[in-house]
């Protein structure tokens, strides 16, 4: 990175943090700290909701996922607009009528204290761990790309977030997220324009290459339980996830509880439903264009430069160089088939198109085999090395090909995304800990100022916890997908509790409490035995379905338990 890139990166981060502290310093009451005086307009709410969901993982992983797997991940969001409409009609009016600080206050009004506490603890468990992963996932990649120490990268991101989140509370989170969304989407759109302009062929020809290489596979109507991303999982399983995440997760609920009115909050949610799918489409499409770019310009054999540099300095250097040469030769051969494809497209020669397409796929398969051989060498050299390089693809392209200044801006995008999602999580964790646990069950007689200060201290506590968890997160595997997985393990149960409260008026607190415990146990058993045989039944379920299964089990168990109690 050049001096200009460092200036852009740190200048952007300091301005965002400074602006958040300056605009919101010193809230005088608990209501101001937790609900921001309810003066947010709809577009601030909408941007804040989008920024909360758009973590750094979104901007690191999504382009790389499109590079490897095409556009089909977009189907995950198909149910989002429907979820926003349902929430606007059902959930939000109830929260506004009860004037709650957290979503879980509703559950005590509807059921009892233990049900409220259970839902709050389920949220604190999964979101507390997720906050650490939200810091760690970008840190491990950014530390590798920038040559920073991983622990200090975790501390740097976490400390920046703690400063303005503890200082200004909910309003600071919402205000800074507006600036962060501008940086994130502005930087990504600029990167997309640059990569398209750098292509040596016309845009329409680039689309032909992407299409023939099966990277424009947007919709798949084939039903498959084990497939995470198809139309049916997006419209059903993901719909349950979005209902739970946006309707019962305090990190999102707190965003729209700050609205000036019920209509402002509704409009903010609808804005998210309308813009999130196009936003995700743009990010995925940028990844596809990076894929097309690397069909004309030779890509690295492995995108994680640190691992290949280790190989070059190891006893396997000669083997690695040999594989690199094979990779370069295969790339040249494949380049010829791409030229043949474009020529056949210009001539509308269908047999020629099919022949070139087959040659392209064969060449790509050879490239992938060589990449796998290199990854095997990496593991041979270092048994604990991470060989999955999907998350390095986009930022490696940025560092290798984009001009000075833009590189710093794209790193600012990643840091901003990490900060925006983490800030919402810490803000919600502090609020829930204070309102649902500390104030309700541990200290009921404190002053308003006491609870406001408690919220600050608990927010800071969760920030430190997230940093510590991120520091030791190397003990876990598959961290990039762990946030969605963690949510899916708990969200279904939480959503089930809320839906029983809203729609099954005849069910009481004891029944739903026991049902929630049973449903959560079933989900954990399914997860632990997924891919195995349980009681003679083979289990192979994509984790998105945990949300639907958990929710429906809570509703079913609660109904059965309540009926048995009546008898």
In tens, the pLDDT along 342-364 reads: 888 888 888 888 898 898 889 88
d(CA 353, CA 339): 11
Residue 120, classified by CB atoms within 10 Å of its CB into exposed (0-12), middle (13-18) or buried (19+), is buried
> Which residue's structure tokens are 């930022």?
395
Can you tell me the mean pLDDT for 366-388? 88
Residue 564, classified by CB atoms within 10 Å of its CB into exposed (0-12), middle (13-18) or buried (19+), is exposed
**Model pTM?**
0.84
d(CA 563, CA 567): 7
d(CA 380, CA 317): 12
Lowest mean pLDDT among 507-511, 543-547, 553-557: 543-547
Q: What is the DSSP string of 331-363?
A: HHHHHHHHHHHHHHHHTT-HHHHHHHHHHHHHH
Would you give the DSSP letter of residue 233?
Answer: I
Closest CA to 360 of 292, 411, 312, 307: 292
Q: What pLDDT is attached to residue 226?
A: 66
d(CA 524, CA 519): 9
Would you give the DSSP letter of residue 224?
Answer: -
The most confident of the ranges 69-83, 136-150, 484-498 is 69-83
> Taking all residues of the chain, what is their mean pLDDT, rounded to a whole number?
86
pLDDT, tens digit, 9 for 90 and up, residues 279-310: 999 999 999 999 999 999 999 999 988 888 88
Would you say 515 and 499 are in contact if contact means Cβ atoms under 8 Å apart?
no
d(CA 41, CA 171): 12
The tokens describing 335, both together, are 């380049």
Give the rounded percent of residues in the chain with a pLDDT score beyond 90.
32
Partnered with residue 538 across adjacent β-strands are 533
d(CA 169, CA 30): 10
The tokens describing 91, both together, are 């959930």
Would you say 466 and 134 are in contact if contact means Cβ atoms under 8 Å apart?
yes
d(CA 276, CA 78): 10
Q: What pLDDT is attached to residue 489?
A: 84
Q: What pLDDT is attached to residue 484?
A: 61
Chain Cα centroid distance, residue 112: 33
Higher per-residue pLDDT: 480 or 316:
316
pLDDT at 127 over 90: no
Lowest mean pLDDT among 123-137, 285-299, 314-328: 123-137
Higher per-residue pLDDT: 453 or 1:
453
CA dihedral 90, 92, 95, 97 (to 10 degrees): -80
Confidence of residue 448 (pLDDT cuts 50, 70, 90): confident
Chain Cα centroid distance, residue 197: 29
Would you say 412 and 12 are in contact if contact means Cβ atoms under 8 Å apart?
yes
Q: What pLDDT is attached to residue 476?
A: 47
Q: What pLDDT is attached to residue 214?
A: 84
- CA quadruple 467, 472, 476, 480: dihedral sign: positive
Q: Which residue blocks in 504-567 are alpha helix, DSSP H?
A: 509-528, 545-566
pLDDT at 239 over 90: no
Q: What is the DSSP string of 271-330?
A: HHHHHHHHHHHHHHHHHHHHHHHHHHSPPPSSS-HHHHHHHHTSTTHHHHHHHHHHHHHH
pLDDT at 322 over 60: yes
d(CA 274, CA 276): 6
Can you tell me the mean pLDDT for 256-265? 88
HSE, CB side, 13 Å, CA atoms: give it for residue 531.
5
pLDDT at 553 over 60: yes
The tokens describing 320, both together, are 């690695």
Q: What pLDDT is attached to residue 533?
A: 67
d(CA 135, CA 470): 6
């Amino acid at each position: 990175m050049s001096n200009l890139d460092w200036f852009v990166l740190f200048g952007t981060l300091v301005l965002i943090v400074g602006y958040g502290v300056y605009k919101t310093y010193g809230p005088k009451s608990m209501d101001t700290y937790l609900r921001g005086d309810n003066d947010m307009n709809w577009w601030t709410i909408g941007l804040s909701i989008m920024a909360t969901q758009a973590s750094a993982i979104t901007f690191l992983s999504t382009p790389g996922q499109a590079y490897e797997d095409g556009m089909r991940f977009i189907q995950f969001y198909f149910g989002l607009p429907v979820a926003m409409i349902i929430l606007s009609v059902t959930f939000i009016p109830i929260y506004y009528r009860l004037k709650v600080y957290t979503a879980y206050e509703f559950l005590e009004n509807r059921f009892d204290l233990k049900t409220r506490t259970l839902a709050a603890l389920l949220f604190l468990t999964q979101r507390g761990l997720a906050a650490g992963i939200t810091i760690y996932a970008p840190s491990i990649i950014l530390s590798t790309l920038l040559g920073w120490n991983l622990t200090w990268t975790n501390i740097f991101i976490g400390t920046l977030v703690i400063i303005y989140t503890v200082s200004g509370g909910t309003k600071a989170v919402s205000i800074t997220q507006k600036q962060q969304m501008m940086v994130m989407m502005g930087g990504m759109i600029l990167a997309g324009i640059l990569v398209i302009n750098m292509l040596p062929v016309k845009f329409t020809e680039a689309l032909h290459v992407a299409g023939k290489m099966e990277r424009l596979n947007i919709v798949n109507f084939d039903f498959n339980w084990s497939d995470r991303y198809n139309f049916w999982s997006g419209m059903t399983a993901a719909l349950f996830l979005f209902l739970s995440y946006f309707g019962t997760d305090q990190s999102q609920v707190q965003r729209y509880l700050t609205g000036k009115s019920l209509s402002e909050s509704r409009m903010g949610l609808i804005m998210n439903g309308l813009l999130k799918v196009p936003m995700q489409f743009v990010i995925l499409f940028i990844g596809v264009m990076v894929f097309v770019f690397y069909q004309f310009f030779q890509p690295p054999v492995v995108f994680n430069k640190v691992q290949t540099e280790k190989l070059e300095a190891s006893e396997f250097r000669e083997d690695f160089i040999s594989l690199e040469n094979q990779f370069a030769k295969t790339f040249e051969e494949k380049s010829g088939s791409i030229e043949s494809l474009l020529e056949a497209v210009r001539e509308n020669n269908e047999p020629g198109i099919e022949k070139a397409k087959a040659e392209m796929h064969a060449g790509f398969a050879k490239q992938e085999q060589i990449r796998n051989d290199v990854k095997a060498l990496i593991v041979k050299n270092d048994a604990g090395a991470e060989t999955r390089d999907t998350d390095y693809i986009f930022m490696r392209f940025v560092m290798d090909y984009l001009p000075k200044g833009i590189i710093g801006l794209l790193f600012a995008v990643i840091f901003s995304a990490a900060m925006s999602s983490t800030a919402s999580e810490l803000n919600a964790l502090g609020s829930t800990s204070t309102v649902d646990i500390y104030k309700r069950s541990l200290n009921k007689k404190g002053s308003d100022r006491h609870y406001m200060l408690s919220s600050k201290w608990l927010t800071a506590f969760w920030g430190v916890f997230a940093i510590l968890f991120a520091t030791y997160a190397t003990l876990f595997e598959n961290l990039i997908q762990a946030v969605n997985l963690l949510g899916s393990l708990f969200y279904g149960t939480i959503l089930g509790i809320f839906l029983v409260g809203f729609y099954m008026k005849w069910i009481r607190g004891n029944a739903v409490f026991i049902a929630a415990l049973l449903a959560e146990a079933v989900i954990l058993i399914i997860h632990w035995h997924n891919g195995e045989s349980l009681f003679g039944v083979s289990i192979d379920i994509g984790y998105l379905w945990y949300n639907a299964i958990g929710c429906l089990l809570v509703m079913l168990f609660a109904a059965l338990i309540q009926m048995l109690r009546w008898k």
